[in-house]
């Protein structure tokens, strides 16, 4: 805590501003008043909040401690709802104003976990906190598009939060704020996935062959046609005048959310593999779909897992594919590795080493078919590793 106090002092010295705590934070002080030993560090936190040049990383970390770590005090103190509302406003302000995307993500994590905890655990006292909760929903729904995009793609999925709100709130509650937020969330979700290639059409084009019916049908939940149908259902729900009801939220939550679509993409390679009978084709289709997933920015949350799956398939590619096709697939693998080496260096390193081992084993066969892929391996390895000393050491 001493280092954190020094951070504030340095802030004050640099900008020459003496800070007084805004009276609006009095509810937080009253909730925490019984903790005499915390008053100095609490005031440091509140002073930082009132400084014109805020340290959002410090503020976000401290806000998490006081809002989530002292849940019982917030939930039982007469001014707890006011204090909770302030913590939620602090999180929203950090999401809007922090420069670091990591701090923005941490702030949204704080806000989400606060909302989730008070919705699920307040029981009959939930009504006391509804004003602050609904205000937070409204603030999220009004965030700028470039910020809302990251929230929609977050691990903390808004539809799960909305489901909890529907479950624990009284039916006569006002659902207008959460419904407005969810309409924007679903609208963004379908607009985004329609902006990406239709995965079935892409796979057919990439493999230059039609797919068996039992494989094609797997893609229906990820198809453009399906997302257009979802858009139509969303428009029908939105057109209903009774947009502030629990019934309206219930209808919205029957639509697939962003997270569930990501989960479908994650499951799809294995489903394709199991649906194809011909051994070589099942490896080919699965690997090509994994390449497709790596090229979709909206799947960044599962890219490392996808890269690991590509790594697991390398041996099968080297051993089972015909020479020309193996060469093509390996070239694609290196394209993926090159693009992700800075983001997932350890996983890429394991993949490169696995490729090296695969080629060493293949040399024992002394088959001409491995010559060209080996050449590509050497050339691409130099390209991938040239700026990474760890790679150069491990792969030498």
- pLDDT (tens digit per residue) in 304-319: 888 888 877 776 766 6
Domain boundary among 272, 294, 309: 272
396 and 304 in one domain?
yes
235 and 201 in one domain?
yes
342 and 219 in one domain?
no
The DSSP symbol for 53 reads S
Tokens standing for residue 395: 């792969």
Secondary structure of 328-394 as H, E, C letters: HHHHHHHHHHHHHCCCCHHHHHHHHHHHHHHHHHHHCCCCHHHHHHHHHHHHHHHHHHCCCHHHHHH
Domain boundary among 123, 156, 189: 156
132 and 9 in one domain?
yes
307 and 237 in one domain?
no
From CA 237, how far away is CA 255, in angstroms rounded?
A: 11
Question: Please, which contacts does 70-74 make with residues 24 or more away whose CB atoms are closer than 8 Å?
Answer: 70/31, 70/32, 71/117, 71/121, 73/31, 73/32, 73/34, 74/31
Query: Residue 72's CB: how many other CB atoms inside 10 A?
Result: 9
From CA 279, how far away is CA 317, in angstroms rounded?
A: 11
120 and 38 in one domain?
yes
- Quote the pLDDT of residue 88: 97
- Quote the pLDDT of residue 291: 82
Q: Mind listing the pLDDT tens digit for each residue in 148-160?
A: 999 999 999 999 9
298 and 352 in one domain?
yes
- Quote the pLDDT of residue 366: 33
Residue 168 lies in a domain: no
Please say if the pLDDT value at position 355 is more than 80: no
Match 């090509």 to its residue by tokens. 288
Q: Average pLDDT, stretch 204-209?
A: 84
196 and 80 in one domain?
no
Mean residue pLDDT of the chain comes to 84
146 and 104 in one domain?
yes
Residue 161 lies in a domain: no
Q: The domain containing residue 339 runs over which residues?
A: 276-396
Residue 346 lies in a domain: yes
- Computed on alpha carbons and rounded to an integer, the radius of gyration of the chain in Å comes to 26
Buried b (16+ CB within 10 A) or exposed e, 271-301: ebbebbeeeebbbbbbbbbbbbbbebebbee
8 Å CB contact between 88 and 79: no
From CA 100, how far away is CA 103, in angstroms rounded?
A: 5
Name the residue among 390, 287, 371, 278 with its Cα closest to residue 329.
287
Which of 76-85, 100-109, 332-341, 372-381 comes out lowest in average pLDDT?
Answer: 372-381
Q: Mind listing the pLDDT tens digit for each residue in 239-294?
A: 987 778 999 999 999 999 999 999 999 999 999 999 988 877 788 888 889 888 88
Residue 166 lies in a domain: no
DSSP 81-120: HHHHHHHHHHHHHHHHH-S-HHHHHHHHHHHHHHHHHHHH
- Quote the pLDDT of residue 368: 45
Name the residue among 10, 52, 41, 43 with its Cα closest to residue 25.
43
8 Å CB contact between 286 and 273: yes
Report the domain count for the chain: 3
254 and 214 in one domain?
yes
From CA 141, how far away is CA 153, in angstroms rounded?
A: 14
17 and 140 in one domain?
yes
Question: Where residue 3 falls among pLDDT bands split at 50, 70, 90?
Answer: very low
Name the residue among 351, 319, 324 with its Cα closest to residue 335.
351
Domain boundary among 272, 291, 315: 272
From CA 313, how far away is CA 308, in angstroms rounded?
A: 9
8 Å CB contact between 326 and 373: yes
149 and 82 in one domain?
yes
Name the residue among 373, 369, 382, 372 with its Cα closest to residue 337.
382
From CA 216, how far away is CA 233, in angstroms rounded?
A: 24
Could you give the residue ranges of the DSSP H alpha helices within 122-154?
126-141, 145-152
């Amino acid at each position: 805590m001493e280092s954190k106090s020094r951070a504030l002092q340095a802030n004050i010295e640099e900008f020459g501003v003496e800070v007084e705590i805004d009276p609006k934070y009095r509810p937080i002080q009253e909730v925490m008043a019984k903790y005499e030993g915390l008053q100095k560090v609490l005031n440091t936190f509140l002073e930082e909040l009132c400084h014109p040049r805020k340290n959002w990383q410090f503020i976000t970390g401290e806000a998490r401690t006081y809002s989530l770590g002292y849940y019982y005090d917030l939930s039982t103190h007469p001014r707890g709802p006011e204090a909770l509302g302030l913590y939620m406003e602090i999180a929203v302000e950090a999401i809007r104003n922090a420069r670091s995307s990591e701090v923005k993500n941490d702030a949204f994590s704080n806000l989400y976990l606060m909302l989730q905890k008070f919705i699920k655990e307040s029981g009959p006292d939930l009504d006391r906190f509804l004003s602050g909760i609904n205000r937070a929903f409204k603030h999220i729904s009004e965030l700028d598009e470039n910020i809302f995009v990251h929230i929609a793609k977050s691990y903390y999925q808004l539809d799960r939060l909305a489901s909890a709100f529907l479950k624990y709130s009284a039916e006569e509650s006002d659902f207008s704020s959460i419904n407005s937020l969810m309409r924007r969330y679903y609208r963004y979700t379908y607009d985004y996935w329609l902006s990406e290639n239709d995965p079935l059409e892409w796979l057919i084009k990439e493999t230059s062959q039609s797919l068996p019916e039992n494989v094609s049908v797997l893609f229906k939940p990820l198809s453009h046609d399906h997302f257009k149908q979802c858009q139509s259902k969303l428009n029908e729900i939105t057109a209903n005048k009774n947009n502030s009801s629990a019934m309206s939220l219930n209808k919205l939550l029957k639509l697939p959310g962003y997270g569930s679509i990501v989960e479908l993409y994650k499951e799809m390679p294995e489903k394709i593999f199991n649906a194809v009978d011909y051994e070589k084709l099942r490896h080919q289709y699965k690997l090509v779909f994994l390449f497709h997933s790596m090229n979709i920015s909206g799947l960044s949350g599962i890219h490392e897992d996808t890269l690991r799956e590509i790594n697991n398939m390398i041996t099968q590619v080297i051993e089972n594919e015909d020479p020309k096709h193996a060469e093509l697939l390996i070239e694609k693998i290196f394209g993926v590795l090159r693009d992700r080496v800075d983001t997932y260096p350890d996983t890429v390193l394991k993949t490169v080493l696995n490729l090296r081992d695969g080629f060493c084993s293949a040399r024992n066969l002394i088959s001409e078919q491995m010559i060209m892929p080996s050449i590509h391996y050497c050339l691409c390895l130099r390209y991938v590793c040239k700026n990474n000393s760890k790679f150069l050491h491990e792969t030498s």
